[in-house]
Structures are given as C-alpha cells and as structure tokens.
Amino acid sequence: MLKLENLRLSEAKVGKKYIVNQLQLNESNLILLAQIHITQNVVIEVIDRQKTGLMVIQTGSGRFIIDPEIAKGIFLISD
C-alpha cells in the first residue's frame, strides 16, 4: 500500500523504504542530489542513522552518507 506522506528525510525510519515524490530544497542542494540520481520516483532505503542525525541511505545508484538537513522537506510516499 502506498500512501502520500509529508515528511522530512530526518524523520525517515531505519530499515524502511521511501519513494521520493517531491523535493523541497534550495537550488544547489537540489542539483547536488539530482546528480547522484536522487530525484523523483527514486526509492530510498534508510540503512542507519546516528543520534546527531547523519544517515546512510541506499538508492539504486549506491549508498550515501547524507546529512538529512540537506534533504530537508522531502515529501515521500512511504510503503
């Protein structure tokens, strides 16, 4: 079951998969993510997160360490 949810990447849970629906960030971060293929319809799985917020995510194009603040205001559909 897919449902549209308005949540930030920093709220995403470890072990769950999310599909990017729309990203709301400043232009340079948007470009940064687009280049490594984190754009609409891409599936993101959260592998781990630290207390400070830093996350490891898995996408079709690899694993990334990401500061979720970079992806603030991501709107995701969670399954």
Partner 1 sequence: MTKIKPCCDIENETIGDKQSNNRVLLVGNPNTGKSLIFNLLTGYSVKVANFSGVTFQAKSGRFIENGHSHMVYDLPGFYGFSDDTAESASSKRVIYESEDPLIVNVIDINHLDRNLLLTKELLLLNKRMILVLNFVDTVHYDVNALTSRLRSLYNIPVLGVSAIKERGIRGLKQTIIGEFETLEAHTKDDKLMRPSKVAERIEQVAAKLNDEKELRFSEVFLSMLDEEYLKDYSPFANDKFMKVEKEVFKGLNIPVKVKLIDTLYEEIQSDLSGLGLIEDNESKLLFLDRFLLNQYVGLIIFSVLIWLSFKITFDLGGIFTIWIDAGVRILGDVIKASLPNALIASFLVDGLLAGIGFILIFLPQVTILFLIIGIMEQSGYLTRVVYITDRFLTRAGVSGKSIAPLLLGFGCNVPAILSTRIIPDSNEKKVTALSIPFVSCSARFPILVLFGSMVSTAYPDLIVAGAYLLSIAVAVTTIFLLRKFFFRGKQSLMIMELPNLQFPLNNTLFNQVYAQVKDFIKGIGKGVGIGVVILWLLSITSFRGLIGPAALHDPILFKQSLAYSLGQYIQFVFYPMGWDVRIIVALLFGFITKELFIGALGILYGTNLAILSQQFTPVSALSLMLFVLLYVPCLGTVFALKQEVGTRWTLFSMVYSLTLAWVVAFVVYSFGGLILFG
Q: Which is nearer to partner 1, 19 or 30 (CB)?
A: 30
Per-residue contact flags (x/-) with partner 1 for residues 20 to 59, judged by CB under 8 A: -------xxxxxxxxxxx-xx------xx-xxx-x-x---
Minimum distance, C-beta of residue 33 to partner 1, in the bound complex (Å): 8
Q: Reduce the DSSP state of residue 20 to 3 states and report it.
A: strand
How far CA 67 is from CA of 1, 2, 29, 45, 46, in Å, comes to 28, 26, 11, 15, 12
Tokens 């990203």 locate to 23
Interface residue list for partner 1 (CB under 8 A): 27-37, 39-40, 47-48, 50-52, 54, 56, 60-67, 69-70
